């Protein structure tokens, strides 16, 4: 049976020692996040994840969701109760403004605890996760009335939320969507059409479900310029704000999926359902992108989350499973064989997971902190810079951490040998669950294209320059630090590759855009390596400072340095390969006729 | 719904034009394999795979196998009938000597058609696949009586075979196995113990099942030196050779696995089952390795097989799914959107699958041809050289083609976006099925250790030197060929990296064996890249010769050159990264305490 223990020590180290969140106490909400408060919140989240969410994870996968003939959906045994505990803990509103029932704490804290929830039970955590996305969209684009009507109930989790984008014939290309919205005399709309792949679309855990739905108002322009966003509650509210009449939206089927069986992925049929416009007419995509960007950070975090729990289980198994002897002679001579963790190849696999997870944790929290600064700073220049950096981090975190998270889950499963292939050990679930994170909220190829096609060039490259400057400055400022030199040197080499690849796009992709497409995925991963290398650089610097100050976490800090060294030795050099691939351009890639594939 | 079309044109090209099997017509069986005969066999195999095996693949995954209370197992609907057709076609005995009912044709042909069978239905093909392995072991180590008793029925497929190695506490480390064999006065043994993960261990498709079982004769030495191999038939044979009394072996459970649901993976309980020693007492491991080596080549082939069918489906989907527009402007202006195959990032993914599949096909058939030479040549020096080369190819093919095959299945699934995650499209099955090939018949880490720990050093490095010489000679002989130069130059660079890494092991792993372990997986993949690069080099040379001779396969040959170029540009450069990782050694990898992971 799998186990899970939230990495509290590492989270607190990243928040306090690497990112230094106490330095941001001029931002609203941060002053409340004192050291003790952070300890308490992270500790409570760990308990919830370990003791409430995790125990129903494997059983939830095996049972899955059930749709009944009346279109209602039952979640797996124990999900409803676990969700109630989650909800009652106030976790959904952790970083939501207090006026809507939230606690107004930093988003970076919401992200820190979110990792634990997804590690413990990704399928279950998606229900409140989608609610958070819907809350974010209503907060930014909703009217005051909409905010006061929907947010408090969503924040307390008695109502949940969904995102309705995809239709059978359109996913990435939302310009083709057909769901219709017919204006009604009372200012509402009648929504009709079919949406697919709607996570948490129907279930038995909340009193109401607030669907955010993209649709086209009759007579609206074709393409993405004619899309509007609507609030469509499962139960239309009574005058007193309580759920009333059942609305014309129903679950036609739930999908038979590879994983996340505990989350109901629904086909939702809208049949003249009552909907309310949110934001401006035909500006639905912009409103949806608020949810989408938040969701992308959340999905990147899922990549880390599954990778972390898969790693923990692989490490345990490698310590317990005895098989064969160490190449250097028996390490457990009293036993029939040595634990397989004596083997360098097993350790290599474990360290690779670990190096990516620890960098990924710093990367996620660093990105969340940029979101806090972008939303809460009083200084417009600081806000803009943080928003620029976040615009780059979003596709990189989503694409890289989900690709790597899946790879790590596969590598963790491999440590189990044949036992990893058997469902009862839980490693198969991690692989199957992690797989979706590479696909939804924009498949990773779409993230790569967003990065090279949109984010790089935006505002004359302002955002990417800000990132390069921050990392370059870090290397420069620490040039004289001899202990740090092996790390900054490797990082600088990676940064040089990244800058050269960027320059190559500037020079070769304007006239020939397929040169960007052919290198997009390699570029996203090259970027990911450099960001992770930067996180390791900052980590090592923090470790040295703590060691110099005689910090008592002796072993924890020493292990950090080993893992950092592993990253720089084994993973960072991949930047040269990625750059070389990018520079081969698109000619070969575009040479075949479509029919020849 | 998924589709499958056997790549007949490519198979024939590799057999005839790249490997030139007609040049081997001095070997027994090869003279019968004339050009027309090969065409006919490959064509018939394609029909069987496409029309008989493939139609029950997805349904077989969804239904799975069922164990009944009496321990009997039912295979999915249609499996029994499909297997009967397979069996009646004489496919199991294609390369088995005629005296045992086979056709005595080259093993390379058996391999060529085996790819199609696994592509079409891997779970089903495992039943006859395990039979082939058991046949090989009995052929080499069985007594004349055992051969005449068991082989004809197994060759005709009315009886199937299994391999029984793993026990709950031992997989890789067979020295720990506990299954006991008690000698009986009549020369037989009573076998008692439990075996797990026994593929095709119990089912309803054959009249008898011939289990080959590793067990320890009472009083035998501890460890691997006390293991013997036994034939344990499900039904003990009557004096006339027909199946008689039910033997004391029963299926205690079937595993709930991630994939290959159509194959019954059994817990087999042996309770004083009658068994017959095969080969010498305490020499069971050597006998089992005959099966194992054949099985490893077969598993490598499964990696290719799933990758090929996944690729075909991804290419079809990419041609059909319309979504968005090409970066260079609409390519299908009459439609609402362009097919996604217009995107460079999609093409890159498809070409990567294709470049690995085509190289993998040549690699598999090249290895099978070495097996033919090793077993059939009249020249001892030629036999030894082929056997040496095969000893290297076996772990590399198994490890690399299954790792890459899985990666490709994942990449193919990714092309489908959200639809790839839904079981009905079949892409999830390919990923789940491909996953086991990285694990069974020796997990890929074990293959890597076999390569660096055993195969490299054997006979003073004779085998690896033979491989390096063959590839080095190819580069040297073609130095003056300007058209080939871009390919041989890239190949030579890869070979240099491989030789340098080999030298590094020679110099650094003797005194410090963990240096070998820490680099083993990278070395296996480095080796795989060079072999695949060599296959591409020979392919390009064959293409040029055919083009010069005015061969009519114009488009096929032109596409080969594009794919070869892709391989050399994008995949071959990975050798430098692999070498760099190897050379970082084991110090960082071994630094952490086991408890620190």
Is B456 among the domain residues?
Answer: yes
Statement to judge: residues B18 and B126 lie in one domain: yes
Please give the Cα distance from B238 to B248 (Å, whole number).
Answer: 16
Residues on chain B touching A573 (C-beta within 8 angstroms): 577, 580-581
Tens-place pLDDT, residues A303-350:
999 999 999 999 999 999 999 999 999 999 999 999 999 999 999 999
Residue B150 to chain A, least CA–CA distance (Å): 30
Is B273 among the domain residues?
Answer: yes
The phi and psi torsions of A276 (rounded to 5 degrees) equal -125, 125
B58 touches chain A (CB under 8 A): no
CB-side neighbour CA atoms (13 Å) of A210 = 32
- For residues A105-119, average pLDDT: 98
* CA distance readout (Å), A505 to A451, A471, A508, B133, B466: 12, 20, 5, 52, 43
pLDDT given for residue A412 in this prediction = 98
A410 touches chain B (CB under 8 A): yes
For helices A554-566 and A344-376, the axis angle rounded to 10 degrees is 100
Residues on chain A touching B172 (C-beta within 8 angstroms): 323-324, 417
Q: Which residue of B lies nearest to A170 if distances are taken between CA atoms? A: B323
pLDDT given for residue B473 in this prediction = 98
Q: Which residue of B lies nearest to A342 if distances are taken between CA atoms? A: B594
Please give the Cα distance from A281 to A278 (Å, whole number).
Answer: 8
Residues 6+ apart with CB under 8 A from B529: B494, B571, B572, B574, B575, B578
Report CB contact under 8 Å: B345, A581. Answer: no
CA B123 from chain centre, in angstroms, equals 13
pLDDT given for residue A112 in this prediction = 98
Q: Point out the residue among B318, B422, B520 whose CB comes nearest to the CB of A256.
A: B422
Instruction: Name the active-site residue from B44, B81, B441, B555.
Output: B441
Statement to judge: residues B484 and B560 lie in one domain: yes
Task: State the CATH number of the domain containing residue B215.
Answer: 2.40.110.20
pLDDT given for residue B360 in this prediction = 98
- For residues A80-105, average pLDDT: 98
pLDDT band for B288, please (50, 70, 90 cuts): confident
- Residue B275, beta-bridge partner list: B189
Please give the Cα distance from A480 to A470 (Å, whole number).
Answer: 17
Is A384 among the domain residues?
Answer: no
Find the range with the poorest average confidence among A205-219, A276-290, A309-323, B41-55.
Answer: A276-290
Statement to judge: residues A77 and A142 lie in one domain: yes
Q: Which of residues B266, B282, B298 is at a domain's end?
A: B282
A255 touches chain B (CB under 8 A): yes
Tens-place pLDDT, residues A125-148:
999 999 999 999 999 999 999 999
Nearest to B197 by CA among B128, B286, B126, B141: B126
Is B380 among the domain residues?
Answer: no
Statement to judge: residues B164 and B147 lie in one domain: no
Question: What is the torsional sign of CA A293, A299, A300, A305?
Answer: positive
Is B317 among the domain residues?
Answer: no
Task: State the CATH number of the domain containing residue A25.
Answer: 1.10.540.10
Write the DSSP symbol of residue A336.
S
Is B292 among the domain residues?
Answer: no
Q: Which of residues B244, B262, B282 is at a domain's end?
A: B282
Please give the Cα distance from A221 to B382 (Å, whole number).
Answer: 74
- Between chain A and chain B, the number of residue pairs with CB atoms below 8 A apart is 248
pLDDT for A290 beyond 90: no
Q: Point out the residue among B428, B518, B594 whose CB comes nearest to the CB of A258.
A: B428
Statement to judge: residues A464 and A583 lie in one domain: yes
List all residues of chain A from 527 to 556 with a beta carbon under 8 Å from chain B: 555
pLDDT given for residue B290 in this prediction = 84
Token match 């064959």: residue? B542
Report CB contact under 8 Å: A594, B341. Answer: yes
Please give the Cα distance from A110 to B482 (Å, whole number).
Answer: 61
Report CB contact under 8 Å: B327, A589. Answer: no
- For residues A463-478, average pLDDT: 98
The phi and psi torsions of B301 (rounded to 5 degrees) equal -65, -35
Statement to judge: residues B229 and B105 lie in one domain: no
Task: Report the percentage of chain B scoring pLDDT > 90.
Answer: 98
pLDDT for A515 beyond 90: yes
Statement to judge: residues B128 and B248 lie in one domain: no
Please give the Cα distance from A104 to B207 (Å, whole number).
Answer: 71
CB-side neighbour CA atoms (13 Å) of B133 = 28
Q: Which of residues A151, A184, A201 is at a domain's end?
A: A151
Please give the Cα distance from A218 to A282 (Å, whole number).
Answer: 11
pLDDT given for residue B289 in this prediction = 86
pLDDT for B287 beyond 90: no
pLDDT given for residue A336 in this prediction = 94
pLDDT band for B291, please (50, 70, 90 cuts): confident
- For residues A356-382, average pLDDT: 98
- For residues A70-96, average pLDDT: 98
pLDDT given for residue A97 in this prediction = 97
Residues on chain B touching A594 (C-beta within 8 angstroms): 318-319, 339, 341-342
A485 touches chain B (CB under 8 A): no
- Residue A230, beta-bridge partner list: A213, A277
Token match 């990112």: residue? A19
Site from A9, A454, A592 to mutate, B interface, most B CB atoms within 10 angstroms: A592
H or E element that contains B150: helix B144-156
Is A495 among the domain residues?
Answer: yes
Statement to judge: residues B192 and B128 lie in one domain: no
Q: Which residue of A lies nearest to B339 if distances are taken between CA atoms? A: A594
- Number of domains chain B is built from: 3
pLDDT given for residue A105 in this prediction = 97
Statement to judge: residues A42 and A170 lie in one domain: no
Residues on chain A touching B554 (C-beta within 8 angstroms): none
Question: What is the torsional sign of CA A468, A469, A472, A474?
Answer: negative
Task: Report the percentage of chain A scoring pLDDT > 90.
Answer: 98
Q: Point out the residue among A341, A345, A444 whose CB comes nearest to the CB of B520.
A: A345
Residues A48/A42, Cβ–Cβ less than 8 Å: no
Statement to judge: residues A577 and A538 lie in one domain: yes
Pairing of strands A228-233, A265-278: antiparallel
H or E element that contains B284: helix B284-320
Find the range with the poorest average confidence among A565-574, B147-156, B283-292, B443-452.
Answer: B283-292
Tens-place pLDDT, residues A29-56:
999 899 999 999 999 999 999 999 999 9
Tens-place pLDDT, residues A399-444:
999 999 999 999 999 999 999 999 999 999 999 999 999 999 999 9
Residue B373 to chain A, least CA–CA distance (Å): 33
Domain range enclosing B457: 447-588
Q: Which residue of B lies nearest to A428 if distances are taken between CA atoms? A: B258
Statement to judge: residues A168 and A134 lie in one domain: no
Nearest to A108 by CA among A4, A9, A27: A27
Residues on chain B touching A259 (C-beta within 8 angstroms): 421
Write down the number of H helices and E strands in chain A: 16, 11
pLDDT for A287 beyond 90: no
Residues A448/A523, Cβ–Cβ less than 8 Å: yes
- Residue B274, beta-bridge partner list: B190
Is A389 among the domain residues?
Answer: no
Name the percent of chain B in helix, strand, coil, to the closest 5. 60, 10, 25
H or E element that contains A237: strand A235-237
Statement to judge: residues B65 and B37 lie in one domain: yes
Residues on chain A touching B414 (C-beta within 8 angstroms): 438-439, 443-445
- Residue A237, beta-bridge partner list: A243
H or E element that contains A69: none
Please give the Cα distance from B61 to B77 (Å, whole number).
Answer: 10
pLDDT given for residue A419 in this prediction = 97
pLDDT given for residue A289 in this prediction = 86
pLDDT given for residue A87 in this prediction = 97
Residues A178/A216, Cβ–Cβ less than 8 Å: yes
DSSP helix/strand/coil, A427? helix
- Residue B142: how many CB atoms within 10 A of its CB? 23
Report CB contact under 8 Å: B594, A319. Answer: yes
């Amino acid at each position: 049976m799998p186990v899970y223990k939230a990495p509290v020590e590492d989270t607190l180290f990243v928040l306090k020692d690497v990112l230094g969140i106490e330095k941001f106490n001029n931002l609203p909400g941060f002053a409340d996040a004192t050291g003790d408060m952070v300890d308490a919140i992270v500790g409570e989240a760990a308990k919830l994840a370990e003791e409430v969410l995790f125990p129903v994870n494997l059983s939830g996968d095996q049972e899955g969701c059930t749709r009944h003939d009346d279109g209602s959906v039952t979640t797996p045994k124990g999900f409803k109760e676990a969700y109630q505990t989650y909800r009652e803990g106030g976790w959904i509103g952790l970083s939501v403004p207090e006026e809507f029932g939230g606690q107004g704490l930093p988003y970076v804290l919401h992200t820190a605890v979110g990792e634990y929830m997804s590690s413990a039970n990704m399928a279950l955590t998606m229900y409140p996760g989608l609610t958070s996305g819907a809350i974010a969209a209503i907060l930014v684009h909703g009217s005051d009335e909409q905010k006061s009507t929907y947010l408090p109930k969503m924040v307390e989790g008695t109502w949940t939320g969904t995102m309705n984008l995809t239709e059978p014939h359109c996913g990435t290309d939302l310009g083709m969507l057909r769901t219709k919205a017919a204006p009604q005399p009372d200012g509402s709309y009648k929504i009709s059409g079919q949406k697919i792949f709607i996570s948490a679309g129907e279930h038995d855990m909340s009193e109401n479900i607030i669907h955010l739905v993209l649709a086209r108002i009759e007579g609206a322009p074709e393409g993405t310029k004619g899309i509007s966003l609507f609030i469509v509650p499962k139960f239309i509210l009574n005058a007193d704000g309580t759920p009333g009449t059942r609305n014309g939206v129903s679950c036609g089927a739930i999908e038979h999926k590879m994983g996340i069986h505990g989350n109901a992925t629904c086909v939702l049929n809208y049949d003249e359902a009552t909907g309310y416009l949110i934001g401006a007419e035909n500006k639905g995509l912009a409103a949806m992108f608020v949810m989408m960007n938040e969701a992308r950070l959340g999905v990147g975090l899922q990549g880390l989350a599954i990778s972390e729990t898969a790693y923990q289980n692989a490490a345990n198994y490698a310590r317990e499973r005895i098989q064969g002897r160490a190449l250097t002679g028996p390490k457990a001579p009293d036993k029939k064989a040595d634990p397989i963790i004596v083997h360098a190849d097993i350790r290599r696999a474990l360290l690779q997971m670990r190096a990516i997870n620890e960098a990924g944790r710093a990367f996620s929290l660093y990105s969340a902190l940029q979101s806090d600064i972008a939303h809460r700073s009083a200084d417009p220049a600081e806000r803009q810079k943080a928003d620029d950096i976040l615009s780059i981090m979003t596709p990189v975190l989503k694409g890289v951490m989900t690709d790597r998270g899946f790879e790590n889950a596969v590598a963790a499963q491999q440590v189990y040998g044949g036992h990893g292939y058997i469902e009862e050990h839980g490693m198969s679930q991690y692989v199957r669950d992690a797989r979706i994170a590479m696909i939804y909220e924009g498949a990773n190829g779409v993230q790569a294209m967003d990065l090279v096609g949109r984010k790089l060039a935006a505002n004359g490259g302002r955002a990417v320059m800000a990132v390069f400057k921050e990392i370059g400055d870090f290397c420069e400022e620490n040039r004289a630090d001899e202990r740090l030199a092996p790390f900054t040197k490797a990082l600088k080499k990676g940064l040089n590759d990244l800058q050269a690849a960027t320059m190559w796009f500037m020079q070769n992709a304007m006239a020939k855009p397929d040169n960007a497409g052919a290198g997009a995925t390699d570029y996203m991963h090259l970027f990911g390596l450099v960001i992770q290398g930067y996180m390791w650089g900052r980590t090592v610097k923090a470790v040295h400072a703590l060691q110099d100050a005689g910090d008592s976490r002796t072993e924890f800090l020493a292990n950090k340095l080993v893992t950092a060294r592993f990253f720089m030795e084994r993973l960072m050099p991949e930047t040269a390969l990625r750059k070389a691939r990018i520079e081969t351009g698109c000619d070969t890639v575009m040479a075949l006729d479509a029919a020849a594939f």
